Amino acid sequence: MTRRLELLQLARQVKGFMPDDEGEALFSAAREAGERRPEGTWLEVGAYCGKSAIYLGAAAEETHCVFYSLDHHHGSEENQSGWEHHDTSLIDPADGRLNTLPTWQRSVADAGLENTVIGLVGPSVVIAQHFPVPLDLLFIDGGHGAEVAWADYHAWTPKVVSGGTLLIHDVFPNPADGGRPPYEIYCAARESGRFIDERAVGSLRVLRAV
């Protein structure tokens, strides 16, 4: 089996909320971004257990990019106890909080991607304020509440270089399908005139910075 197939298969097995077809679209969009701009710097907001990190990491490895996978690893609102996407096996008994960092580390190690996928552990906006490197690719899939999603939009999208790629997950134009904030920041990205649509697969949107 080729290295690429091995990684795509591994990604499918990691816990998370990304359907296989959207994961593969994520890989393809990133692979094309890396071909256009090899040796680039990439970042995702929202790492969870490392599923999207393997899809993106596979593309980063092939194109010699470095990919930062950012999360505070304590879950979003919808991952907390009582919510739809809660997974009790991810609770740290020491403090009763969700902790996805050990699972994320295991995913990246199993994939053999430790030199390509670099973890950043902490609050998105604090890291953004101190993250000086322009981004060739940005994937926004962090908190989906209005405040958090807009904070991510304002903190990170200005760092995307012209010709770079912006990916946004969980974009649901129809409110019946899911929460609005990712859709709203997607609309804002287009309306800003800085990004144009490239592709849509499921709830994944691929945009290019003009």
Could you tell me the sign of the dihedral formed by the alpha carbons of 28, 30, 33, 39, in that order?
negative
141 part of the interface to ligand SAH, by CB under 6 A: yes
For the bound state, the minimum distance from the C-beta of residue 16 to ligand SAH, rounded and expressed in Å, comes to 4
Closest to 204 (Cα-Cα) out of 47, 18, 13: 18
According to CB under 5 A, which residues from 26 to 45 bind Mg ion?
A: none
Residues annotated catalytic, as ranges: 144
22 part of the interface to Mg ion, by CB under 5 A: no
Could you tell me the sign of the dihedral formed by the alpha carbons of 5, 7, 9, 12, in that order?
negative
Site string for ligand SAH, 13-32 (x = CB under 6 A): ---xxx--------------
47/56 Cα distance (integer angstroms): 11
184/187 Cα distance (integer angstroms): 5
Smaller CB separation from ligand SAH, 16 or 164: 16
Beta bridge partners, 137, equal 42, 165
Smaller CB separation from ligand SAH, 71 or 136: 71
40 part of the interface to ligand SAH, by CB under 6 A: no
Site string for Mg ion, 142-181 (x = CB under 5 A): ---------------------------xx-----------
Closest to 68 (Cα-Cα) out of 55, 57, 79: 57
Interacting residues with Mg ion (CB under 5 A): 141, 169-170
